A = this chain, B = another copy of it.
Amino acid sequence: MNEFIKKSVQSLSAYVPGEQPFGAEVIKLNTNENPYPPSPCVAEVLARAATESLRLYPDPTSRGVREVVAQLHRCEPEQVIVGNGSDEILALCIRAFVERGGGSVGYFDPSYSLYPVLCAIEEVETRPVELGPDFEWAMPDSYAASLFFITSPNAPTGIQYPKPVIEKFCKTFPGVVVMDEAYVDFAREDAIDLATTLDRVLVTRTLSKSYSLAGIRLGYAVGPRPLIEALNKIKDIYNVDRLAQEIARAALSDPEYMRGISDRIKATREHTANALRKRGFTVFPSEANFLWVKPPGIGAQELFETLRSGGIIVRHFPGLRTGDYLRISIGSDVEMDRLLQAIDQIGMHHL
């Protein structure tokens, strides 16, 4: 049987997404979803959505969405591509910019665990850059790659490296830089200006986090026209559906709402970070909608399992660099209080 499946696919370990316990009554702090609903504009779109129009193909270029994005970031619609989630765009970047046999892809280690999976699928070399003991970033001497993913803020650590460092890297790196800014609306600064001014820098964004629309699968990239055009050539023709385009346009037209819920999440994040520090946790400075923490007096895996048996799901990434830590998504204040209560109860026996 297997002789018909490509060798690289046979040997592939697929990316493991965070658990989705459908229907179960749990507090879900494991996949960085937003605790608040999307903009009320989205409900209006659904209320007036005509099923009649669903018989027609969507605009293959997602023009309406690109126009709103261009306004938001002060660029031209031709500098924008819309994807079926930013994951699609990350995959397209490897397919467009990395030659097989010779090409290579760099990214932080640890970082978004999808990058090496995409490289394995595309059969291109990976050149991860190991972060320091506290996940600080320094490039090795004479490092080169065809494409480098800067995750900013980084996941799963939540750390955002300083803009001048990123800018210097973008200006000197001898390949294409893709800034994966999935979490940037929770951060102090963004780097979209690098994508609109430099020759080979792209910034990717998603509506899954700050816009509370993980369910519709919509992301986009901003960058120089020739690179955007190359991505357009190889994307699936009708890659984004009609409803997703309409919903995204509505949500992106209401950035005030997004900023409001992002501010609430940032406040909850700071409150939770302080509460965990008081309880002896090491908490890394987060610019995202999650915290990267090391629990005191109990292994990360054990705490993960104990919380889970109490109906609170956080994320544990086994492995040398990540196994001692937990990634905790920022939920509502009520959810985070429940988490702290659960930790305090465990604490009576363990900490």
**Chain A residues in the interface with B (C-beta under 8 A):** 1-2, 4-7, 9-10, 12, 14-15, 17, 20, 22, 31, 33-38, 42-43, 46, 49, 51-60, 84-85, 87-88, 91, 95-100, 103, 114, 121, 123, 146, 175-176, 199-200, 208, 212-217, 224, 226-227, 230, 232-234, 236-244, 247
Q: How close is A329's CB to chain B, nearest CB, in angstroms? A: 12
- Closest residue of chain B to A213 (Cβ to Cβ) is B54
How many Å lie between the Cα of A4 and that of B57 in the bound state? 32
- Closest residue of chain B to A87 (Cβ to Cβ) is B236
- Closest residue of chain B to A212 (Cβ to Cβ) is B55
Q: How close is A272's CB to chain B, nearest CB, in angstroms? A: 19
Q: How close is A276's CB to chain B, nearest CB, in angstroms? A: 24
A55 cross-chain contacts in B, Cβ below 8 A: 33-38, 212-215
On whether the beta carbons of A216 and B230 are closer than 8 Å, the reply is no
In the complex, which of the residues B33, B85, B97, B237 contacts A6, with contact meaning CB atoms closer than 8 Å?
Answer: B97
- Closest residue of chain B to A174 (Cβ to Cβ) is B4
On whether the beta carbons of A199 and B1 are closer than 8 Å, the reply is yes
- Closest residue of chain B to A98 (Cβ to Cβ) is B6
A42 cross-chain contacts in B, Cβ below 8 A: 51, 54
Q: How close is A168's CB to chain B, nearest CB, in angstroms? A: 19
How many Å lie between the Cα of A22 and that of B245 in the bound state? 14
Can you list 20 residue pairs at the A/B interface with Cβ under 8 Å? A4-B200, A6-B95, A6-B230, A7-B99, A9-B95, A9-B234, A14-B232, A17-B57, A17-B238, A33-B57, A37-B52, A38-B55, A54-B213, A57-B214, A58-B215, A88-B236, A91-B236, A114-B237, A216-B242, A217-B240
On whether the beta carbons of B234 and A96 are closer than 8 Å, the reply is no
How many Å lie between the Cα of A85 and that of B58 in the bound state? 12
A-B contact sample (18 more), CB < 8 A, given A17-B57, A243-B244:
A2-B226, A4-B227, A6-B99, A9-B95, A12-B234, A20-B56, A20-B59, A31-B57, A38-B55, A46-B46, A58-B215, A58-B217, A84-B84, A85-B238, A214-B238, A215-B242, A217-B240, A243-B243
On whether the beta carbons of B5 and A96 are closer than 8 Å, the reply is yes
Pick from A14, A98, A103, A217 the residue with the most CB of B within 10 Å. Answer: A217
